[in-house]
Structure 1
Amino acid sequence: MIRTAQTKEDRLSRRVIHLAERSHPNVACVALANKTVRMAWAMLRHDRDYQPERAAA
């Protein structure tokens, strides 16, 4: 994800790039995985669809 995020302009990709620049790439990878799991849990819990505009909030 970190490698491919450099070619994208969405908020989540920019956030991952910024995090990887300030910390070790492995830390950024784990943070992204944690955020993804929390978003998936919230979508299942509240029976909602994915909303990309809220992903980087």
Structure 2
Amino acid sequence: MNTEGLSTLKWLIIIRWLHDALIENAFDTIENNFQEVDKFTKWNTWVRIWRYILK
């Protein structure tokens, strides 16, 4: 993906962290379907802050 200006700033500060958390949650869900013990990856501080702000 190529970004310019404000979009680059949004990617670096907001979207990148939320995107990574989404992917980690998706893989955890898949893994939980095949394992007996459920796994949940803890969100980092940025994800928790942005989820709080954006809800």
User: Same fold by TM (over 0.5)?
Assistant: no
Computing the radius of gyration from Cα coordinates, the structure with the larger value is 2
